[in-house]
């Protein structure tokens, strides 16, 4: 296992060099970005959003809060996703449906779930981008149309970065989540280019990198934290540690 990881890191280093050499000459016609953990760290955002939601529930719907904890609410969402596999990619549906189930069980109206979700969603979109993100997006958006390609339900307007993007393709609208090739096909159709004319940048080896290349899209792995590449996957052709390395 360790030996395979070592070979992966050698491939990563070579790929990073190729990326810098290629992109300083030209970029593909379209560049797309994953959002969560690519443009901002998502764990602290979700933690804060769940805390805001929990405080709101304790104040406004105490009977529901008395039956649950933040941890049990996560378990309930997992149950809902498993019960509706055809909607499991839609994080908004999963959260609203699980909130409605929780509220109704405590004697409240199901419609309160929409208000509860808005409390969560407002905080979910209060993101803090990595330091390299806004300068890189500003620079790249002057050269190529940029698209967001995400499994999550972040809102570009609320996150304050919509001005950099020509569009946003997300799992909820496609009906599937990366690495499903339908996500990348939807992106190509939205951008009006062939898959090979897209450079996708993301942090997830399976969803972003392997999913993209299986769909015929150029892929870049952004590895900000020096994580090992999964041994079961072919090493990425291109790896970066910062968006400054693109273009």
Instruction: Note the pLDDT of residue 247.
Output: 81
Residue 20 has pLDDT above 90, yes or no: no
Distance of CA 58 to the CA centre of its chain: 29
Secondary-structure breakdown of the chain: helix, strand, coil percentages, each rounded to the nearest 5: 55, 10, 35
pLDDT > 70 fraction of the chain, expressed in percent and rounded? 89
DSSP code at position 85: G
Mean pLDDT of 205-213: 98
- When mean pLDDT is compared across 23-27, 92-96, 135-139, the lowest value belongs to 23-27
Mean pLDDT of 19-42: 78
Q: How far apart are CA 214 and CA 216, in angstroms?
A: 5
Residue 9 has pLDDT above 90, yes or no: no
Residues 150, 36 contacting (CB under 8 angstroms): yes
Secondary structure class of 183 (helix, strand, coil): helix
Tokens (6 digits) for 16: 């990073």
The domains found in the chain, sorted by start residue, are 2-41+129-245 (3.40.50.1000), 43-124 (1.20.120.1600)
pLDDT > 90 fraction of the chain, expressed in percent and rounded? 88
Question: 10: pLDDT confidence band, cut at 50, 70 and 90?
Answer: very low
Mean pLDDT of 44-56: 98
Mean pLDDT of 186-211: 98
Residue 81 has pLDDT above 60, yes or no: yes
Residue 1 has pLDDT above 80, yes or no: no
Question: 200: pLDDT confidence band, cut at 50, 70 and 90?
Answer: very high
Residues 29, 218 contacting (CB under 8 angstroms): no
Q: Is 197 a catalytic residue?
A: no
> Whole-model pTM?
0.87
Q: How far apart are CA 241 and CA 45, in angstroms?
A: 21
Residue 164 has pLDDT above 60, yes or no: yes
Which of 34, 180, 203, 208 is catalytic? The answer is 34
Instruction: Note the pLDDT of residue 19.
Output: 42
Instruction: Note the pLDDT of residue 2.
Output: 30
Task: Write the pLDDT tens digit of every residue in 109-153.
Answer: 999 999 999 999 999 999 999 999 999 999 999 999 999 999 999
Buried b (16+ CB within 10 A) or exposed e, 91-122: bbbbbbbbbbbbbeebebeeebbeebbebbbe
DSSP code at position 41: -
Beta-bridged to residue 225, according to DSSP, are none
């Amino acid at each position: 296992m360790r030996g395979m990881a070592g070979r992966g890191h050698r491939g990563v280093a070579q790929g990073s060099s190729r990326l810098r050499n290629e992109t300083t000459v030209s970029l593909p016609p379209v560049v797309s970005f994953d959002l969560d953990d690519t443009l901002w760290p998502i764990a602290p955002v979700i933690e804060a959003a769940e805390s805001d939601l929990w405080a709101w529930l304790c104040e406004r719907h105490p009977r529901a809060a008395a039956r649950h904890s933040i941890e049990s609410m996560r378990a309930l969402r997992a149950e809902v996703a498993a019960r509706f596999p055809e909607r499991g990619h839609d994080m908004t549906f999963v959260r609203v449906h699980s909130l409605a189930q929780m509220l109704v069980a405590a004697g409240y109206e199901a419609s309160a779930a929409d208000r509860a979700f808005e409390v969560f969603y407002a905080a979910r979109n209060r993101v803090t981008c990595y330091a390299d993100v806004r300068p890189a997006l500003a620079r790249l958006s002057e050269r190529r149309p940029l698209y967001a390609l995400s499994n999550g339900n972040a809102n570009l307007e609320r996150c304050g970065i919509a001005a950099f993007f020509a569009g946003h393709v997300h799992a909820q609208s496609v009906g599937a989540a990366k690495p499903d090739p339908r996500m990348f096909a939807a992106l190509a159709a939205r951008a009006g280019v062939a898959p090979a004319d897209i450079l996708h940048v993301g942090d997830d080896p399976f969803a972003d990198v392997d999913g993209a290349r299986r769909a015929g899209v150029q892929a870049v792995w952004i590895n900000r934290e020096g994580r090992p590449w999964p041994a079961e996957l072919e090493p990425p052709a291109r790896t970066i540690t910062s968006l400054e390395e693109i273009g």
